[in-house]
Amino acid sequence: MSISISGLAVSYGQADVIADLDLRIDEGNFFTLLGPSGCGKTTLLRTIAGFVPAARGRILFGDVDVTRLPAHKRDIGMVFQDYALFPDKTVFENVAYGLRARGERGAVLEGRVMKALERVDLGPFRSRKPAALSGGQRQRVALARALVIEPQVLLMDEPLSNLDARLRLQVRETIMELQREARITTVFVTHDQEESLSMSDRIGVMNKGRIEQIGSPKEIYATPATTFVADFVGAANRIPVTLGQGADATRPTVRFGDVVLRARCAGPVPNGEGVLVLRPEDLGMDDSPTTDGAASSLPGSVILRQYLGARTAYKVRLGDGSVLAVDLHGEDHDRFSAGQHVSVSVNPEKALVLAR
């Protein structure tokens, strides 16, 4: 079931928390809402669920307008950050709850519940109360409970944020498997960029009640549409630059310090004032400053070195006092030391110019 949202506005009083939002999520997609705290992710999710009324705009599930439909008739499955299990009911009864509300009884009910529980490896826990489960087990019960009713839409609000790092990975995989298997249209809210990149078919990056960019994880990461997206998804060096009058609008000439290069450009940049976005891992580093013609190489000195196993993260201070983050992988990535004079090289193919 696809979800189409048009012209949506939501407010809790005076000011709009969400203003004029359009969004389309294709059938069977795993869609992630990513954004900083307070940007309105939960609000949007709860509006889709029907817990928060829309002030303006329409929400469609497939062709059906659900904007005015009460939550319990929307046929959704929902997974909450705090699990929201019914504490006085057993694991079995928790999972059976939605089926009972749909009039399912007897052996069919039992069969479906047990299948759902076994799917999340919780068959033997059927008669426990939630209080006697670990955090990961609780979240798996919550998943089984939401999925057993085979909802049209699955909504999840930071379901992993109460779990520790290792469990988070495990449950993440469980969610992905179950979602792929059932091909349920899923909206997943998180403020963890790694989670969103690894799990999603598509990501919507939200900021202040608006969606800044929608795209596949790769698009979001490699070609962020705004500096906000570039900053929020992955680390980015941002360098203010002036654009030259190049013939090719998509490959403008940028100049900063002694460096002149033809960067990529995602959209028109007004006034020729732009920001050059450089991912730390896209930068290279050499021992000696090479001045001969290599215009895309910047001299500087290492001021911080953090060895991280698979890579080493450096901070390099350039001649003009600005600081670049550089991540090195591959052999001898830890070969530079603090204080050392180096030259940072920029690959024009990976350099992106955005509007300021």
Partner 1 sequence: MNRMIDVRSVWFWLSVAALVIMFVFIVYPIINIVTSSFSNGGGWSQILSEQRYGEAIANSLMLAAIVTVACTLVGVPLAYVTARFRFPGKSLIVFLPLITLVIPEVIAAQTWLMMLGNNGLITRFFREYGIILPSFYGWFGLVTSMTFIYYTYVYIGTVAAISGFDAHLEEAAQSLGSSPARARLKVMVPVIAPAILSGALLVFTMVIGNFAISIILGHQVQLLSVMTYRAAVSEGGVNPVMQSTLASVSILIVMVVLFINRWIVARGRYEVVQGRGAPPSALRGLEGVLIALAAGTVVLISMLPMISVILGAFTRARGPVMQWGTWTLENMERVFVTAPQPLVNSLVYAGLATCIGISFSTVVSYMIVKKRNLITPLLDYISVVPLALSGTVLGIGLIISFHTGWLPLTGTASIIVLAYVVRRLPFGMRNASSTLYNVPNSIEEASISLGSPPFRTFVRVVLPMMAPAIAAAAVLTWTTSVAELSASILVYSGGRETLPIQIFRLLDSALMAYASACGLTLIGVILLPIMIAIKVFRMDLFGVGKPRSES
Ligand X SMILES: Nc1ncnc2c1ncn2[C@@H]1O[C@H](COP(=O)(O)OP(=O)(O)OP(=O)(O)O)[C@@H](O)[C@H]1O
Lay out the site mask for partner 1 across 132-151 (x = CB under 8 A, - = otherwise): ----------x--xx--x--
Contacts of 95 (CB under 8 A, 6+ apart): 113, 116, 117, 141, 144, 145, 148
Question: Which residue from 2, 6, 36, 80 is in contact with partner 1, where contact means CB under 8 A?
Answer: 80
Task: Determine, following the binding rule CB under 8 A, whether residue 98 of this chain makes contact with partner 1.
Answer: yes
Task: Determine, following the binding rule CB under 6 A, whether residue 42 of this chain makes contact with ligand X.
Answer: yes
User: Is the Cβ–Cβ distance between 29 and 187 less than 8 Å?
Assistant: no
Interaction partner, residue 75 (partner 1, Mg ion, ligand X, none; CB < 5-8 Å by kind): partner 1
Query: Which range binds ligand X by CB under 6 A, 35-43, 140-148, 176-184, 317-325?
Result: 35-43
* Alpha helices (H) in the chain, listed in sequence order: 41-49, 91-101, 106-119, 135-147, 165-182, 193-199, 217-222, 227-232
Question: Which residue from 17, 109, 211, 263 is in contact with ligand X, where contact means CB under 6 A?
Answer: 17
**What letter would DSSP give residue 222?**
H
Task: Determine, following the binding rule CB under 6 A, whether residue 53 of this chain makes contact with ligand X.
Answer: no
Triad 239, 241, 243: Cα angle to 5°? 150
Q: Strand pairing partners for 301? A: 317, 341
By C-beta, is 137 or 196 nearer to Mg ion?
196
User: Is the Cβ–Cβ distance between 201 and 29 less than 8 Å?
Assistant: yes
Task: Determine, following the binding rule CB under 8 A, whether residue 77 of this chain makes contact with partner 1.
Answer: yes
Task: Determine, following the binding rule CB under 6 A, whether residue 12 of this chain makes contact with ligand X.
Answer: yes
**What letter would DSSP give residue 350?**
G
Nearest Cα residue to 350 out of 244, 234, 247, 269: 234
**Binders of Mg ion among 50-89, rule CB under 5 A?**
none
Query: Which range binds partner 1 by CB under 8 A, 94-102, 253-261, 282-290, 348-356?
Result: 94-102
Please, what is the minimum distance in Å from the beta carbon of residue 197 to Mg ion?
Answer: 19
Task: Determine, following the binding rule CB under 6 A, whether residue 191 of this chain makes contact with ligand X.
Answer: yes
* Total chain residues near Mg ion (CB under 5 A): 1
Interaction partner, residue 39 (partner 1, Mg ion, ligand X, none; CB < 5-8 Å by kind): ligand X
Nearest Cα residue to 46 out of 157, 199, 160: 157
Collapsed DSSP state (helix, strand, coil) of residue 249: coil
Per the listing, tokens 């506005």 go with 9
Task: Determine, following the binding rule CB under 6 A, whether residue 333 of this chain makes contact with ligand X.
Answer: no
By C-beta, is 65 or 86 nearer to partner 1?
86
Please, what is the minimum distance in Å from the beta carbon of residue 88 to partner 1?
Answer: 5
Nearest Cα residue to 304 out of 282, 326, 280, 287: 326
Q: Could you write out the DSSP letters of every residue in 62-103?
A: TTEE-TTS-GGGS-EEEE-TT----TTS-HHHHHHHHHHHTT
Q: What is the distance between the alpha carbons of residues 178 and 30, in angstroms, rounded to a whole number?
A: 11
Collapsed DSSP state (helix, strand, coil) of residue 356: coil
Query: Which range binds Mg ion by CB under 5 A, 13-21, 39-47, 133-141, 223-231?
Result: 39-47
Task: Determine, following the binding rule CB under 6 A, whether residue 163 of this chain makes contact with ligand X.
Answer: no
Interaction partner, residue 48 (ligand X, partner 1, Mg ion, none; CB < 5-8 Å by kind): none
Task: Determine, following the binding rule CB under 8 A, whether residue 97 of this chain makes contact with partner 1.
Answer: yes
* Residues engaged in binding partner 1 (CB under 8 A): 46, 49, 51, 53, 55, 70-78, 80-82, 84-89, 97-98, 101-102, 142, 145-146, 149, 155
What residue ranges bind ligand X (CB under 6 A)? 12, 17, 35, 37-43, 191
